[in-house]
Amino acid sequence: MHELSMADAIVKTAVDVAEKNDAQKIIEITIEIGGLALLNPEQLKFMIEVLSEDTLLEGAKIVIEEIPIEIECKSCSYEGPAGEEELDHYMPIVKCPECDDVSINIIKGRECNVKNIKIEKEDEDA
Ligand SMILES: [Zn+2]
């Protein structure tokens, strides 16, 4: 399952960063997902929660930000947000909103990144 391997990678990245920063725990994690990453944000969130059990990420707030799809049209040179036929995360049909052409370049929207991690550190004076 796509979400599972992605969730696994995200948990590993977050725990790795936290460990390198001597974190006691992770408070919050922000993940960016593009509209074309073919990921279901709710499923992804659920799997991160499951996989983060007994790690520094356990109990952290998971924030998912969706990145809008941006395209460049090969027919009319339009550049900007895509027109989406189906707002379905599995199979969005992306078209040029100006001329309806489907021969486009995707500029943005395939990303799935850990954007930000908030950690809690032990008091350094302690
Ligand atoms: Zn166009």
Tell the residue number behind the tokens 């040179």, with chain if given. Answer: 77
Residue 124 Cα distances to 14, 23, 24, 118, angstroms: 22, 11, 12, 17
CA of 98 to the centre of ligand 1 (A): 5
Q: Given a cut of 80, is residue 8 above it in pLDDT?
A: yes
Q: Given a cut of 60, is residue 90 above it in pLDDT?
A: no
Report the distance separating Cα 1 and Cα 12, nearest Å: 17
Burial of 113 (0-12, 13-18, 19+ CB in 10 A): middle
- Work out the average pLDDT over 109-116: 93
**pTM for the full predicted model:** 0.80
Residue 68 Cα distances to 39, 65, 85, 94, 104, angstroms: 14, 10, 14, 12, 15
Using a CB cutoff of 5 Å, list residues around ligand 1, an ion: 73, 75-76, 78, 96, 98-99, 101
44-79 pLDDT, tens digit per residue, is 999 999 999 999 999 999 999 999 899 999 999 999
